[in-house]
Structure formats: C-alpha cells, structure tokens
Amino acid sequence: MNNRRRLLAAFGASALAAPLWSFAQPQARVYRIGFLTPDTLETRRPFVEVFMRAMHELGYVEGKNVTYEPRFANGDLARLSALATELAGQSFDVIVVTNSLAAEAAAKATRTTPIVFTAVADPIASGLAASLARPGGNVTGISNIIIELAGKQLQLLKETFPKISRVAVFVDSTTSTAAAYFGEAERAAKALGVEVLSAEVRSGEDVEKNVVALRKWRADSMWVLSTPTNINNQKLLVQIAEKTRLPAIYGADSYVEYGGLMSYGPNTPDNWRRAAAYVDKILKGAKPADLPIEQPTKFELVINMKTAKALGITIPQSILFRADRVIE
C-alpha cells in the first residue's frame, strides 16, 4: 500500500468521500495537495486529519475535487531534501509542511509551487519570508512563536515547582534558530534565578548519556523546547524524564500524550485548521507572497496527572485551575 493510501486509510478519509458523479456531469478539477513532515504518520495523523476535515468544510472532498499525498521522513532528517525534491517534481497545487526543517527543505526544492507551513518559529530568520506582513516568495503559513513562549514555559515550571534551580534545557542545534532558542532560555532563567544546561537528543543512544549527564549535573528539572528534532524524539525525551524522575515541561501537548508531565504552547490542531484556510485562498488564486504570516491565537496548558502520581509529584491547585486540559 503506498503512502497516500496509508494516509487516507489512517485518517478515515472514506468518511469524507463524495457521492459518485453522474457521467453526464462535467469533470471537476481535482487539486493535488502534498504533505511533507520530518516525523511519522503516528505523530502527525491527528493534525492532518484536522486539516482534511477543515478542507472538507471549505468544499474540498477527497476523491471529488482534491487528493492528498504525504511524504514522511520518519525521523530520518537526511531524507527531507530528497522527499521535498520528489514533491517539487510533481504537479502539486500546494505543499503543506510542518516545521522549519520541512519548510526549508521544500523552499530549496521549489520556488514556484506554493508552500504552507503550520509551525515555524521564526520564518524571517529561517529565510522563508522577507516579512510577516508580506512574505514575498512562495512560502507562507502560521508561526508557532515558540521562541517567544520560552519565558512563559519556564515561568510555569518554576511556579509549579518553586524549589527548582538547575534546569536541563533540551534544544535542537540543527535549526537556524537554535541560538535564539537558547538565548531566550538563558534570559528567562536569569530572570527567574535558575541555572540552565543545554542538552540534546538525536537517537536512542542519547537517552542513557543524558540520564548520566543530568544526574552528574544534579539537574532538578527538564525543559523541552518544541524544536523539530525534539518533536521527532518525543518518546525518548519522555523516557529521560521518567528515568531521572525529574519534573518536566514541554513545548507541545503531544509530549504529554506520550506520558510527559506538562506542556504549554500553541494549540496545534488550530494551526492546522487555519492552514486549510491558506490553502483554500491559494487554490482560489491568492499568491503566498501576498498572504501575511499569522501567529497562533490559542495556547494551552496541559497536565498529565497520571505521570504526576507515578512520580509522586503534587501539582498545586493554582496550576490545575489554570490548566486547559488535565489527563487523569
């Protein structure tokens, strides 16, 4: 079964299928939408399903006037360039990408096919846009502003665990915004009177290395920024927190679904829903160069009480009251 069929089967696309056309009716144009993501079908399935349903609400029905074709790198970042080139060489009307790594790969592969991203931290620093108001090229979409959210995430961690003083910050050095990520982390830490240590995970081999390093450093908490490589290694990062028994905050709620303690960040499904509106405008003739890059409008604090209980951690009621979602 090819990638497209696996995607449609997994997302339940049959529920969106259109009734059969009469042979007497004119053939409608069928738009082709490609997807490019560094991670896996498992990771992205809920969000792409949200996108497809939003497209359905806008009048695009799979099998009738739109088709979807995915390319998953499955965590192998070296494959992104080849997958992007593959998509660029075919007649897609729009390519939808997830984060900065996928967006940068797609932008290098084509300067003509419209590209819509759902979560890029800094489109200007990444070289994807001339400005937020007028991107100027073939790339536009929604920024996840996770660099700006860094201070809020650390503040929440400190409010929940006032005694923490040595925080291991997991940041992705491969991104064009790595320096900005860690710089913001250091500024936030200084303001709150805590020390930060930079850490990174690229494979399963890094799990035990980090467990040893964090214990040696006497880290008392973890802070996982939602960078592309971290997203690819969510389960491994949650494992590190479990093995060290450290309280941790993550930049996306998907970590909490895997057993992470708490997260604060943009509402990811909402970003994918809004991406559908961009695609709709482009299919109706708008140019990506003229579509302003938007920022998230919904943010969520999510807490996993199962994990808190397993770690013997008490979450203050003041934090629980502020939570948008609690996993019991």
What is the tens place of the pLDDT at every residue in 135-165?
999 999 999 877 778 889 999 999 999 999 9
Distance CA 16, CA 103 (A): 28
Angle, helix 41-57 to helix 268-283, in steps of 10 degrees? 50
Q: How many residues belong to the chain? A: 328
Average pLDDT on 239-243 reads 95
Which domains does the chain show, CATH number per domain? 3-143+268-296 (3.40.50.2300), 146-266+300-327 (3.40.50.2300)
Q: What confidence score (pLDDT) does residue 21 get?
A: 39
Q: Residue 178: pLDDT above 90?
A: no
Q: Residue 204: pLDDT above 90?
A: no
Taking alpha carbons only, the member of 263, 273, 268, 260 closest to residue 310 is: 260
Q: Are 176 and 126 in contact (CB under 8 A)?
A: yes
Q: What confidence score (pLDDT) does residue 9 get?
A: 52
Distance CA 67, CA 31 (A): 6
Q: Are 122 and 177 in contact (CB under 8 A)?
A: yes
Q: What confidence score (pLDDT) does residue 180 get?
A: 78
Mean pLDDT of the chain: 88
Q: What confidence score (pLDDT) does residue 179 get?
A: 76
List b or e across 135-156, with b for residues whose CB sees 16 or more CB atoms inside 10 angstroms.
bebbbbbbbbbbbebbbebbeb
Distance CA 328, CA 320 (A): 12
- Residue 176 banded pLDDT, cuts 50, 70, 90: low
Taking alpha carbons only, the member of 275, 318, 155 closest to residue 221 is: 155
Q: Higher pLDDT residue, 25 or 269? A: 269
**36-95 residue pLDDT tens:** 998 888 788 889 999 999 999 999 999 999 999 999 998 888 899 999 999 999 999 999
Q: Are 29 and 65 in contact (CB under 8 A)?
A: yes
Residue position matching structure tokens 């941790």: 248
Q: Higher pLDDT residue, 228 or 59? A: 59
Q: In angstroms, how far is CA 83 from the centroid of its own chain?
A: 18
Q: What confidence score (pLDDT) does residue 323 get?
A: 96
Average pLDDT on 282-287 reads 98
CA distances from 302 to 265, 310, 326 (A): 9, 17, 6
In this prediction, what percent of the chain has a pLDDT beyond 90? 64
State the pTM of this model.
0.85
CA distances from 271 to 28, 285, 315 (A): 29, 22, 29
> Environment class of residue 8 by beta-carbon count within 10 Å: exposed (0-12), middle (13-18) or buried (19+)?
buried
